């Protein structure tokens, strides 16, 4: 299985190697390391690892936590395959069929940011326009922010982004793992901006132009 580990560690030479060895001792194969932030003498990294599952995830957490100064902020399953460039696949599908732009975005986002579900709903009525598998019947948080935001509420970690051109509000959520980092929020916002531009290209098309 693929797992995502978010680790906060001292930003000094040798510590990353110690964390890598800690994973290797228990047979976890590191497929990708993503640096989320480096400030105040610490770094926050996301490790994507291939794990046999013979031992529990807690065993891996404990092993990594033995590294001096390292702190595991979250561990959860992911379907984001390193090196697959899923953003390009998403944008390619949207460009091919811009009339389904937002449905395609909602379907793809959970895998793109290691979330569990995504949905787009009317913020005034709560009516769901588009939803991925596993999305709840009422996906929006109470009084969703008017600007893109990442926060936690009712044991869920969420990203919410307004879709003004569609009069909808997008939410991406996970209950497992760490809260969404600002890097993940920025990634979703940029994808929304590009998808919205592609969706706009479908408005007003005549059959001859399609």
Which pLDDT value is given to residue 95?
Answer: 94
pLDDT for residue 205 is more than 70: no
CB 6 within 8 A of CB 44: yes
Name the residue with tokens 């460009």: 95
Which pLDDT value is given to residue 84?
Answer: 76
Percent of the chain clearing pLDDT 70 (strictly above): 95
**What are the structural domain ranges in the chain?**
2-77, 86-202
What's 208's DSSP letter? T
d(CA 129, CA 171): 12
Residue 55 — very low, low, confident or very high, per pLDDT cuts 50/70/90?
low
d(CA 209, CA 107): 27
Percent of the chain clearing pLDDT 90 (strictly above): 70
- CATH H superfamily, domain 86-202: Dynein light chain 2a, cytoplasmic (3.30.450.30)
Please list the alpha-helical segments (H only) found in 130-181: none
- Give me the mean pLDDT over the 3-26 stretch: 91
d(CA 5, CA 8): 10
d(CA 201, CA 182): 29
Continuous segment of H or E residues that includes residue 126: none
Residues 146-168: pLDDT tens digits? 999 999 998 899 999 999 999 99
Name the residue with tokens 């400030």: 39
Three-state SS for 128? strand
Which pLDDT value is given to residue 28?
Answer: 87
Residue 79: CB atoms within 10 A of its CB come to 14
Assign domain 2-77 to a CATH class: alpha beta
- Give me the mean pLDDT over the 24-45 stretch: 91
Residue 208 — very low, low, confident or very high, per pLDDT cuts 50/70/90?
very low
Residues 89-114: pLDDT tens digits? 999 999 999 999 999 999 999 999 99
């Amino acid at each position: 299985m693929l797992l995502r580990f978010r680790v906060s560690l001292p930003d000094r030479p040798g510590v990353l190697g110690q964390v890598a060895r800690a994973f290797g001792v228990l047979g976890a194969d590191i497929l990708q390391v993503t640096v989320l932030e480096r400030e105040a003498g610490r770094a926050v990294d996301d490790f994507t690892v291939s794990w046999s599952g013979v031992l529990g995830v807690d065993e891996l957490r404990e092993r990594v936590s033995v590294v001096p100064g390292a702190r595991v902020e979250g561990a959860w399953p992911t379907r984001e395959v390193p090196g697959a460039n899923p953003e390009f696949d998403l944008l390619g599908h949207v460009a091919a069929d811009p009339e389904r732009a937002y449905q395609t975005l909602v379907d793809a986002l959970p895998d793109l940011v290691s979330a569990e579900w995504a949905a787009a709903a009317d913020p005034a009525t709560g009516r769901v326009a588009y939803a991925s598998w596993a999305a709840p019947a009422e996906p929006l948080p109470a009084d969703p922010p008017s600007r893109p935001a990442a926060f936690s509420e009712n044991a869920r970690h969420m990203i919410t982004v307004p879709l003004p051109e569609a009069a909808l509000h997008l939410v991406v959520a996970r209950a497992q793992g760490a809260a969404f980092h600002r890097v993940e929020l920025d990634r979703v916002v940029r994808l929304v901006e590009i998808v919205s531009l592609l969706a706009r290209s479908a408005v007003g098309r005549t059959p001859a132009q399609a």
